[in-house]
Structure 1
Amino acid sequence: MEYTFASATVLLILITDPIGNIPVFANALKHVAPERRPRVILREILIAFVLLLTFMFVGQRFLELMNLSELSLQIGGGVILFLIALRMVFPPPDAPEPETFGEPLIVPLAIPMIAGPSALATVLLLVSQQPEKRLEWIAALCVTMAVSAVVLVGAERVQRLVGSRVVHALERLMGLVLVSVSIEMMLSGIKVFVQRISQG
Structure 2
Amino acid sequence: MDFKLLGATFLTLIVITDPPGLVPIFLALTSSMDVRNRRRAALQSVLLSFGVIVTFAVVGEQIFKYLHIELFALRAAGGILLLLVALELLTGKSDDPSREVTSNVALVPLGTPLLAGPGAIVATMLAVRGTHAVGGYLAIAGAIVAVHTIIFLVLRFSTIIVRILKPSGIEVLTRIAGLLLAAIAVQLIADAVVEYVKNHF
Q: TM-score range by the shorter chain?
A: 0.5 to 0.7
In percent, how many aligned pairs have the same letter?
Answer: 12
Partner of 2:42: 45
Give the RMSD, CA atoms, in angstroms.
Answer: 3.3
Matching residue of 1:83: 84
Kindly tell me: are residues 124 and 172 of structure 1, through their superposed partners in 2, closer, same or farther at Cα, counting changes over 3 Å? closer
User: Unpaired segments of 5 or more residues in structure 1?
Assistant: 27-36, 100-107
Q: How many residues align?
A: 170
Specify the alignment match of 2:107 in structure 1.
Answer: 115
Bigger share in helix: 2
Match of 2:52 in 1: 55
Bigger shift: 133-142 or 183-192?
Answer: 133-142
Alpha-carbon distance in structure 1 between the residues aligned to 2:198 and 2:85: 28
CA displacement, residues 86-143 of structure 1 (integer Å, 9 cap, x when unaligned): 21222126133669xxxxxxxx8xx722221563234151344212285655544333
Contact map agreement 2:79 2:188 (CA 8 A) in 1: yes
Kept in 1, the 8 Å contact 2:78–2:113? The answer is yes
Q: 2:118 aligns with which of 125, 135, 139?
A: 125
Does structure 1 retain, via aligned residues, the 8 Å contact 2:26–2:155? yes
Moved more, 172-181 or 3-12: 3-12
- TM-score computed with the length of structure 1 as normaliser: 0.67
Cα pair distance change 1:72/1:177, threshold 3 Å: same
Q: In the superposition, relative to structure 1, how do residues 188 and 165 fare at CA in structure 2: closer, same or farther (>3 Å)?
A: same
Q: Which amino acid aligns with 2:88?
A: R
> What is the rounded CA distance, in whole Å, between the counterparts of 1:66 and 1:182 in structure 2?
24
Find out whether 1:190 has 2:190 as its counterpart: no
Could you list the structure 1 runs, at least 4 aligned residues long, displaced by more than 6 angstroms after superposition.
Answer: none
Distance in 2 between residues matched to 1:116 and 1:124, nearest whole Å: 11
Q: Which runs of 5+ in 2 are unaligned?
A: 1-11, 129-139
